[in-house]
Amino acid sequence: MSKTLDRLSLLETFVRIAERGSISSAARDLGLSQASASRHLQELESRFGQQLMRRTTHSLALTQAGLDLLRDARSLLSGWDAIQEKHADADSAVRGPLKVVAPVALGQLYLADIAANFQMAHPEVSLTWNLNDLPIRFAEEGCDCWIRIGGVPDETLVVREVGRVERLVVASPGLVDEYGPVTQSSVSNLPFVALSPFEGGRISLQDTQGQGLAFEPRISVATNNIFAVHRAVLKGAGAAILPRWFVQRDLDAGRLTDILPAWRAEELRINAAYLPAGRQPKRLSSFLQCVTEQVALVPGIGAPEPR
């Protein structure tokens, strides 16, 4: 094995150990013995002259030097993949591992189908699909792509908009019957179910003419879970601002009502974030293209602004 490939092998072992949190699990993934994987880690620490992981009886934890190396190692390995693809047969298949972190509700209800269709179209791609609404540490998560609704709190990543979410004010017919017809002047009288972090003590709307409406709602329920908001609104606990993709079936069935059809909350961006690289691996660029094209077919999600 050449020195160059040996170095890449060391880095690949280190990354896998960091992702799995276990030398034995990483060794099984890579087809190595546990002793070999452990020697790889020791060799890497010897070459860099720094401890990369703290070992306890039951776990491994990256040191700051390990965290820094993990980011660089992933970038280097991704670059190597890109070089292989660049010089491979132009008709070669999209292949390799692809780990994606996506928001829970959108990822479960729509993006999961898009991702599954992508994998079935490219059977040599090994897809890992994780759902998480909370901010992640990209380097520690070990993902290739992070899909997030709203801003991406990591300036080291490349962020690409893949869609825009329409949001409307909805309520159950029972709540509307209780409070009477809803107008822009009376909407503030309704109790509201707030989805944090998008809504809270102040709600801002805009009509089709660009006029603004802002008010401080009376919050009956506050939660960070969109499914909990949905259940509370269906039961009549309050009105809420929810994305059309999430409530379109309820609107069609009459379970919910768009109580201010001329007014909308600010659109939210659906962003895809990934590590900067001179050239994206084909599996990632193909996946991003697939998501951008297919997510725009979901009711209430519009195409991104032209780049």
Is 306's pLDDT higher than 90? no
How many CA atoms are closer than 13 Å to the CA of 23, on its beta-carbon side? 21
Q: How confident is the model at residue 85 (pLDDT cuts 50, 70, 90)?
A: low
Domain 96-164+269-300 and domain 165-268, same fold? Reply is yes
Q: Which residue has the higher pLDDT, 130 or 85?
A: 130
Q: What's residue 267's pLDDT? A: 94
The model's pTM is 0.76
The domain limits of the chain are: 3-73, 96-164+269-300, 165-268
Q: In terms of CATH, what superfamily is 96-164+269-300?
A: Periplasmic binding protein-like II (3.40.190.10)
Is 87's pLDDT higher than 70? no
Rounded distance, CA 51 to CA 34, Å? Answer: 19
Assigned token pair, 41: 């880690």
Is 72's pLDDT higher than 50? yes
User: pLDDT tens, 24-36?
Assistant: 888 887 888 888 8
Is 4's pLDDT higher than 60? no
Cβ contact 98:127 at 8 Å: yes
CB-based burial label for 178 (10 Å; 0-12, 13-18, 19+): exposed
Q: How confident is the model at residue 60 (pLDDT cuts 50, 70, 90)?
A: confident
**What is the pLDDT averaged over residues 215-241?**
95
Q: What is the DSSP string of 175-225?
A: HHHHH-S--TTTGGGSEEEEETTT-SS-EEEEETTS-EEEE--EEEEEES-
* Domain topology for 165-268: D-Maltodextrin-Binding Protein; domain 2 (3.40.190)
Is 111's pLDDT higher than 50? yes
Q: What's residue 225's pLDDT? A: 92
Question: Hey, what CATH class is 3-73 in?
Answer: mainly alpha
Q: What is the largest CA-CA distance in the chain?
A: 77
Q: What's residue 84's pLDDT? A: 67
Is 2's pLDDT higher than 70? no
Assigned token pair, 131: 């759902």
Q: How confident is the model at residue 113 (pLDDT cuts 50, 70, 90)?
A: very high
